[in-house]
């Protein structure tokens, strides 16, 4: 049940009106890594939900917890030496199954079939010494009881589907024989071979040139339409967000500071950090890069997170809310309207005035 603030606005994390609306629902997710220097709170109380057929874009500076969130959903953070001490709490519901409390075997069974991930670097998902086709065949056969021949036909079909020319020939190539863009396509083919209902794409196009970027994004969009999957897209490019996302989640220091439908986030963003991001991030759809204004200051320490609002040391408006509230009280997400939520102590009047009079004219 959502409590009501003094202003009557709902307070708390956004949750879907009924669990059946969402295919993916993350509730109060925390992913902490104990280290020699202290506990790194990479994700610290994150909640969001996503329906099938919709795309949620996660944006935020380097180190804000975007990849850790995706790896946690996929159950991949537990792999590798750095992840062995991970502490995770909260809930991740995928199609009615809860993943945080699930066994590694249960999560492994879902990975590939119900959820798949594509990365910035395809070589992190593909083995360099095995033929591309064999890797796709293997990914298919893990979840389908079919002969190698049937799986090979399926692999050729997928390579064709992602736009790899002469797929019957290229299927026997090795990853290093593919160009960056073609490798990215092959990885997408591998990720989608089992028609996953959730696809997480973590900066899938960052390493590619602009033309190939656009092709890959079109591909993800087409495949999403065809399969009706839910997509989480992590990107530094707000032009991509504007083009592809239905909803946007802005992360800062392991938490969500603003979330809402893409139009609202671009047309009336309600958080000073989002204002900063809008001025500082590149856009594929704009030519000039001289308008980029970096957000001043350093990203917060995730070991000693600033008190109150974690953004306060960098926020030009930190002194505006009355008292010392921004430095002492952590702002919770408050509903702006509909699916739009923001975590900031500024009054609605101040936010509207600053955005319309000071920020928007400069962007």
Ligand X SMILES: Nc1ncnc2c1ncn2[C@@H]1O[C@H](COP(=O)(O)OP(=O)(O)OP(=O)(O)O)[C@@H](O)[C@H]1O
Rule CB under 6 A: which of 280-339 touch ligand X?
302
Provide the 8-state DSSP code for 236. S
Binding track, positions 25-64, relative to Mg ion; x by CB under 5 A: ----------------------------------------
161-to-167, 223, 254 alpha-carbon distances in Å: 9, 9, 36
Report, in Å, the least distance between residue 300 CB and Mg ion: 16
CB-based contact 58:232 (threshold 8 Å)? yes
Contacting residue, 17, 18, 20, 62, with ligand X by CB under 6 A: 62
CB-based contact 310:268 (threshold 8 Å)? no
Report, in Å, the least distance between residue 233 CB and ligand SF4: 25
Distance between CA atoms of 294 and 178, rounded to whole angstroms? Answer: 36
CB-based contact 26:48 (threshold 8 Å)? yes
Q: Is 255 in the site for ligand SF4 (CB under 6 A)?
A: no
Contacting residue, 32, 161, 312, 340, with ligand SF4 by CB under 6 A: 312
CB-based contact 271:342 (threshold 8 Å)? yes
Stretch that binds ligand SF4, among 22-30, 177-185, 225-233, 317-325 (CB under 6 A): 317-325
Distance between CA atoms of 192 and 174, rounded to whole angstroms? Answer: 19
Residue 97, strand partner residues: 94
Q: Is 311 in the site for ligand SF4 (CB under 6 A)?
A: yes
CB-based contact 54:230 (threshold 8 Å)? yes
Rule CB under 5 A: which of 67-86 touch Mg ion?
67
Report, in Å, the least distance between residue 254 CB and Mg ion: 13
Nearer to Mg ion, 22 or 220 (CB): 220
Shortest CA distance to 363 belongs to which of 233, 242, 256? 242
Nearer to ligand X, 22 or 58 (CB): 58
CA dihedral over 170, 171, 177, 178, signed as positive or negative: positive
Q: For the chain, how many residues are written?
A: 363
Q: Is 77 in the site for ligand SF4 (CB under 6 A)?
A: no
Report, in Å, the least distance between residue 249 CB and ligand X: 12
CA dihedral over 114, 119, 125, 130, signed as positive or negative: positive
CB-based contact 245:57 (threshold 8 Å)? yes
Phi, psi of 102 (to 5 degrees): -75, 155
Contacting residue, 24, 42, 154, 201, with ligand X by CB under 6 A: 42
CB-based contact 263:192 (threshold 8 Å)? no
Q: Is 275 in the site for ligand SF4 (CB under 6 A)?
A: no
Contacting residue, 13, 23, 33, 318, with ligand X by CB under 6 A: 33
Contacting residue, 49, 57, 64, 184, with ligand X by CB under 6 A: 64
Give the total of residues touching ligand SF4 (CB under 6 A). 15
Contacting residue, 317, 336, 341, 355, with ligand SF4 by CB under 6 A: 317
Binding track, positions 17-46, relative to ligand SF4; x by CB under 6 A: ------------------------------
Give the total of residues touching ligand X (CB under 6 A). 15
Shortest CA distance to 197 belongs to which of 237, 228, 234? 228
**Which residues bind to Mg ion, rule: CB under 5 A?**
67
Residues that bind ligand SF4 (CB under 6 A): 271-272, 309, 311-312, 315, 317-318, 320-321, 326, 331, 344-346
């Amino acid at each position: 049940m959502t409590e009501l603030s003094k202003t009557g606005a709902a307070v708390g994390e956004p949750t879907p009106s009924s669990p059946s609306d969402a295919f993916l629902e993350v509730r109060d997710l925390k992913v902490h890594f104990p280290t020699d220097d202290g506990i790194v709170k990479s994700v610290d109380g994150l909640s969001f939900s996503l329906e099938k057929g919709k795309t949620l874009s996660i944006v935020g500076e380097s180190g804000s917890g975007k990849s850790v969130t995706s790896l946690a959903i996929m159950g991949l953070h537990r792999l590798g030496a750095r992840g062995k001490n991970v502490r995770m709490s909260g809930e991740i519901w995928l199609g009615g199954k809860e993943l945080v409390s699930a066994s590694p075997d249960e999560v492994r069974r879902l990975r590939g079939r119900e959820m798949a991930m594509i990365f910035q670097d395809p070589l992190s998902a593909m083995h360099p010494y095995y033929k591309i086709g064999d890797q796709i065949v293997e990914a298919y056969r893990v979840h389908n009881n079919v002969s190698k021949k049937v799986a090979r036909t399926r692999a050729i079909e997928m390579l064709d589907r992602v736009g790899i020319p002469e797929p019957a020939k290229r299927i026997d190539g090795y990853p290093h024989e593919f160009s960056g863009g073609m490798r990215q396509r092959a990885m997408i083919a591998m990720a989608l071979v089992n028609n996953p209902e959730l696809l997480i794409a973590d900066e899938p196009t960052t390493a590619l040139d602009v033309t190939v970027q656009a092709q890959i994004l079109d591909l993800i969009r087409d495949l999403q339409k065809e399969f009706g999957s839910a997509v989480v897209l992590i990107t530094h490019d707000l032009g991509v967000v504007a083009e592809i996302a239905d909803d946007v989640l802005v992360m800062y220091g392991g938490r969500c500071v603003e979330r809402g439908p893409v139009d609202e986030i671009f047309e009336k963003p309600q958080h000073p950090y989002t204002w900063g991001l809008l001025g500082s991030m590149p856009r594929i759809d704009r030519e000039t890069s001289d308008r980029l204004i970096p957000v001043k200051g350093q990203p917060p320490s995730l070991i000693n997170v600033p008190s109150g609002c974690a953004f306060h040391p960098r926020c030009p408006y930190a002194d505006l809310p009355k008292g010392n509230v921004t430095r002492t009280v952590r702002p919770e997400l408050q509903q702006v309207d509909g699916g739009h939520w923001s975590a900031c102590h500024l009054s609605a009047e101040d936010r509207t005035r600053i955005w319309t009079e000071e920020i928007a004219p400069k962007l």
